[in-house]
Structure 1
Amino acid sequence: MIQPAPGQQPPAVSFYLDGVRLECVKHFSYLGSTLNHKGNIDDEISHRLGCACAAYGNLRERVFDNASLKTVTKLQVYKAAILPTLLYGCEAWVTYRRHLKTLEQFHQRSLRRILNISWTDYRTNTSVLAEAGSWSIEALVMRSQLRWSGHCVRMPDNRLPKQILYGQLEQGTRARGGQRKRYKDTLKHYLKKGHIDPSNFQALCHNRSAWRQMSYTAVSTFESERVAAVEAKRMARKERQRQRQQKD
């Protein structure tokens, strides 16, 4: 697989192994993750959704549709088996809003099936998460990335993950217009959302137990503020609808 520079076509090169020409592909699987030549996670998200759907389907008859099991047990199985399958490798993802929205749709659909909530019940997503005792997908991804980034900071300088985290390209120019997100951009966004100073991030990570507690607090704060913002937006929308009805 050849990953060309942004806006350029891949060069016409060939690779041989023991005299056999290797096929040039646009994506392939490595350690359970799907990599593509564009450098984004679109194919990985589709692959994760397929694996999570298959895992849910295999356990549906024995667990999720089993009337003999309590709902608490079903939720524990979902969090232990389905969510790790869905978010495998999310520590290194560079997510866009479309990725989180697609994953959240699967998350909500699965929880509503387990809790036996129909679309005719008119339940909000925040109420479903509260009843299931679960966080949103964005909060789960944020927690994984904060913990992984702290682990990378504590690594020795000769470790490859730390070199990639702190590395920068020496050659090339930036294209005009909006730039592609980097892992550093996603991490900085989550640090600010969790009220953690990015400039003091490295010093905080060296204390493992303190960073673990701080990252958990940051994710809890982010989720609480996210739910409050969603509820405030919903109430404002209902108020506008009520005012329009009064005018009519």
Structure 2
Amino acid sequence: MTLVRKMLFADDAALAAHSEKALQQLIERLAHACNEFGLTTRLKKTNVMATSSAYPLAITHWSCILLYCSETWTIYKHQERRLSAFYLRNLRKILGITWQDRVSNKDVLAKANLPSMFALLSQRRLRWLGHVVRMQLGRIPKDILYGELSAGNRPTGRPHLRFKDVRKRDLRSDNINPVDPEPYAADRDSWRVKVKKCVRLSEERRN
């Protein structure tokens, strides 16, 4: 008998099992527990991942933790490079690749079947941008994204990086109009396809 002892997030739960039958039993128990507390599970947001190795599961787990809320980060290029170095170092450890093997970072990503850290960050920020653009007027995230200070002066020297600056950098690198992305982002599905395609092309140019 398997008992669900702890749920870390009310809206995000992960279940792991060694067989399809065991996974189905876990899902049924989770659904029963949710019903007891008046909660519902959405099939639309439920994903199933099967793997014959522990590598993909381990990579997915720690990379999600590493990039939690990264879609809202205001991050400099040198910070992205440090994240990329940490990301690749852990991938090498998980895949059992040492520096003596003389394997390039590009080959490490290909073996893990994963995009680079730069592509992951850009894709997450652009998806979040599309989500905010489609929000109704009056929503706090949209007001903050489009808001401007009515008074005040910036201190002398180079201005601090803003989320708007990072957004423009992502849009330019992915050949999307940085001035008016709203027409592209209005439709969720087409925006996701466009972002995925643009990030892939940007990744190819980087390589």
> TM (normalized to structure 1)?
0.60
What is the CA–CA distance in structure 1 between the aligned matches of 2:133 and 2:204, rounded to whole Å?
27
Q: What residue is the counterpart of 1:146 in the other structure?
A: 126
RMSD: 1.7
Contact 1:74/1:114 (<8 A) preserved? no
Cα distance change, pair 92–154 in 1 and its aligned pair in 2 (3 A): same
Secondary structure of residue in 1 paired with 2:75: coil
How big is each residue's C-alpha offset from its partner over 1:176-215, in whole Å with a ceiling of 9 and x where there is no partner?
2211111011011001111111234111111111101001
What is the CA–CA distance in structure 2 between the aligned matches of 1:183 and 1:75, rounded to whole Å?
34
What is the CA–CA distance in structure 1 between the aligned matches of 2:180 and 2:152, rounded to whole Å?
30
- Counterpart AA for 2:127: R
Q: What residue is the counterpart of 1:114 in the other structure?
A: 94
Q: What residue is the counterpart of 1:179 in the other structure?
A: 159
Contact 2:119/2:203 (<8 A) preserved? yes
Is the counterpart of residue 157 in structure 1 residue 157 in structure 2?
A: no
How big is each residue's C-alpha offset from its partner over 1:28-49, in whole Å with a ceiling of 9 and x where there is no partner?
xxxx9xxxxxxxxxxxxxxxxx
1:115-130 mapped onto 2 (5 Å cutoff): 115-130=95-110
1:12-23 mapped onto 2 (5 Å cutoff): none
Unaligned runs of 5+ in 1: 1-31, 33-70, 228-248
Unaligned runs of 5+ in 2: 1-8, 10-50
1:93 deviates by: 0.3
Secondary structure of residue in 1 paired with 2:53: helix
> For the pair shown, which has the larger CA radius of gyration, 1 or 2?
1
- Counterpart AA for 1:145: R
Cα distance change, pair 200–169 in 1 and its aligned pair in 2 (3 A): closer
What is the CA–CA distance in structure 2 between the aligned matches of 1:139 and 1:80, rounded to whole Å?
15
- Counterpart AA for 1:153: V
Secondary structure of residue in 2 paired with 1:107: helix
Q: Percent identity?
A: 36
Contact 2:59/2:91 (<8 A) preserved? no
Which of residues 192, 196, 201 in structure 2 aligns to 1:212? 192
1:76 deviates by: 1.7
What is the CA–CA distance in structure 2 between the aligned matches of 1:193 and 1:74, rounded to whole Å?
34
What is the CA–CA distance in structure 2 between the aligned matches of 1:108 and 1:72, rounded to whole Å?
22
1:44-55 mapped onto 2 (5 Å cutoff): none
Is the counterpart of residue 89 in structure 1 residue 42 in structure 2?
A: no
> TM (normalized to structure 2)?
0.72
User: Going by fraction, where is strand more abundant, 1 or 2?
Assistant: 1
What is the CA–CA distance in structure 2 between the aligned matches of 1:174 and 1:72, rounded to whole Å?
55
Which of residues 223, 227, 231 in structure 1 aligns to 2:203? 223
Q: How many equivalent pairs are there?
A: 158
Higher RCO (C-alpha 8 Å, min separation 6): 2
Q: What residue is the counterpart of 2:171 in the other structure?
A: 191
Q: What residue is the counterpart of 2:48 in the other structure?
A: none
